[in-house]
Amino acid sequence: MKAFSLLHPRDQIVAIMERIYAHEMTTTSGGNISVRDENGDVWITPARVDKGSLRRQDIVRISPNGDLDGTHPPSSESPFHLRIYDVRPDLHAVIHAHPSALVSFSICGQVPDTRLFPEAWQVCGPVAFAPYALPGSIKLGARIAEQCGSKLRPNCVVLENHGVVVGGENLARAFERFETLEFTGQIILNARLLGKVNYLSEAQIELSKKPRILSPAGSPQTPSSREKELRQEICDFSHRAYEHRLMTSTWGSFSARVDEDIFVVTPSHVDRHEMGLEDLVLIRDGKHAPDQKPSRAAGLHRAIYRAHPEIQAIVNALPLNGTAFSVSDFPLDTRTIPESYLFLKDVGKIPFQHQYGDGEEVAAVVGPKNPVALLENNGVMVAGRTVLDAFDRLEVLEATAAAIIRSRVLGSISVMGPEVIQELLAAFPGL
């Protein structure tokens, strides 16, 4: 979010609230956001103003001495925002809202375990829990501040019977944590419907820190027409994947082959919602421009491209339902409807440790005959003959996973038998 950091706090708050509201992670009247600037002024959302049509002029400024500047009163929760800033000088943004999954945890007196997948642990860290107190009260502020200022210094606090509070060094970082934590909560809830949820061990967390960045090369070359076209397709479908909640702002990789050992891939640590053509990274013979940082999955993508010339595009994603299967032992049986089996075939699971190797084990699983795989505690991987084909399969995968999870309340699945499968394969040999 390079350009985002140059926006005035008013505009930052409006932009982030738009994204939170659009993804139904708050209601018209619920939630509040604040930013503390370099002067110590706190800019905060107003009380009783529609979050779905928030304007920059609605944002209220609270000066260090408590003076107010704005056309509305500040959020009734401003006391705990100010209290958090008192105990955590390192935080400069706070988000409070009532997203459905995290509310489920809050009303059951629990917190999501962010050791579910590496990105959740790296972005959110440990999550604290604050006992109930009256909204807007000094007591609530004290209880939240007690958790934020504790030895672990957590940046995420679930509020009993209330929702969640998340802080960040800036508003972009706070939003990443908020969004990732809600994703984590939703995936845990979906996985619990399948059975036992598997979390990462300490050894696996350490393994996930292993560098997987390809080597930097010399100066970039002039992009070809094909490269330009693929950059546009990757951006378009990455933006769509984010809007459809198949990726988060920080997690998700998309690549497309330009030539034999040349491909374009999404970058590391660039907001998928804001990502532009210039952010994408060209990998040529395993090397990239020195001033760019490709996705950590780029090495795995290269291994698949080298092993399977037919594969032209690959996507790693974190869909809410598909990922539930990656963190549980419940099989994702695609023999549900014809489209599911034809597009996905049999879906295997790649062990966690293989995801941090040279990519050969991954390339042995993902290919033209089996274009889809679950990544143990790391989402899904989908390959295709085009960018559109890969994205289409990803959507089919998520729809299939959602149908299976929802069917759990109805009873056992009636899958298509071997004769039906053979009939489908004979009728549609090109898929």
Q: Which residue has the higher pLDDT, 190 or 4?
A: 190
Whether residues 266 and 372 fall in one domain: yes
Distance between CA atoms of 141 and 144, rounded to whole angstroms? 5
Q: Are residues 346 and 237 in the same domain?
A: yes
Amino acid sitting at position 5: S
Q: Buried (b) or exposed (e) across 11-41, using 16+ Cβ within 10 A? A: ebbbbbbebbbeeebbeeebbbbbbbeeeeb
What is the span of the domain harbouring residue 181?
4-194
Q: Do 122 and 262 reside in the same domain of the chain?
A: no
Contact 372, 313 (CB under 8 A): no
State yes or no: pLDDT of 403 exceeds 90.
Answer: yes
Q: Residue 105 has what pLDDT?
A: 98
Q: How confident is the model at residue 2 (pLDDT cuts 50, 70, 90)?
A: low
DSSP secondary structure, 226-268, as one string: HHHHHHHHHHHHHHHHHHTTSS-SS--EEEEEEETTEEEEPBS
Structural domain contains residue 217:
no
Strands 156-159 and 127-130: parallel
pLDDT of residue 30: 87
Q: Which residues pair with 255 in a beta bridge?
A: 265, 314
Q: Which helix (H) or strand (E) holds 203?
A: helix 202-208
> Same domain, yes or no, for 162 and 21?
yes
Task: Report CA dihedral (122, 128, 132, 138) to the nearest 10 degrees.
Answer: -90
In a domain, 218, yes or no: no
Residues 10 and 83 in one domain: yes
- On whether residue 276 sits in a domain, the answer given is yes
CB contact set of 274 (below 8 Å; sequence gap of 6+): 1, 3, 4
Q: Give me the mean pLDDT over the 190-206 stretch.
A: 97
Q: 283 and 188 in one domain?
A: no
Residue where one domain finishes, among candidates 178, 194, 210:
194
Q: With 70 as the cut, is the pLDDT of residue 1 above it?
A: no
With a cut of 80, say whether residue 314 has pLDDT above it: yes
Residues 261 and 170 in one domain: no
Asked, for residue 263, whether it belongs to a domain, the answer is: yes
CATH at 288: 3.40.225.10
Tell me whether residue 334 is in a domain.
yes
- Decide if 398 contacts 384 (C-beta within 8 A): no
Mean pLDDT value of segment 162-184: 97
Q: Which two tokens stand for residue 322?
A: 């598909």
* Percent of all residues in the chain with a pLDDT value above 70, rounded to a whole number: 99
Tokens of 98: 């009532």
401 and 362 belong to one structural domain = yes
| Residue 78 resides in a domain | yes
**Mean per-residue pLDDT for 139-161?**
96
Query: What value does the mean pLDDT of the chain take?
Result: 95
Q: For residue 397, what pLDDT is reported?
A: 98
Residue 203 lies in a domain: no
Q: Is residue 209 domain-resident?
A: no
| Whether the Cβ atoms of residue 93 and residue 36 lie closer than 8 Å to each other | yes
Are 268 and 165 in a shared domain?
Answer: no
Sorting pLDDT into bands at 50, 70 and 90, what band is 306?
A: very high
The structural domain count of the chain equals: 2
Query: What mean pLDDT do residues 370-381 have?
Result: 98
Q: Is 414 exposed, middle or buried (0-12, 13-18, 19+ CB in 10 A)?
A: exposed
Same domain? For 185 and 234 the reply is no
Within this chain, do residues 229 and 94 fall inside the same structural domain, yes or no?
no
For the stretch 247-267, pLDDT in tens is: 999 899 999 999 999 999 999
Rounded-to-integer distance, Cα 269 and Cα 294, Å: 9
Which is higher by pLDDT, 215 or 319?
319
- Please report the pLDDT score of residue 211 as a whole number: 78
Half-sphere exposure of 331 toward its Cβ, with a 13 Å CA cutoff? 9
Query: Per-residue pLDDT for 137 more than 70?
Result: yes
Question: Using one digit for the tens of pLDDT, what is the confidence trace for 31-90?
Answer: 999 999 999 999 999 998 999 899 999 999 999 999 999 999 999 999 999 999 999 999
Does residue 125 sit in the same domain as residue 19? yes
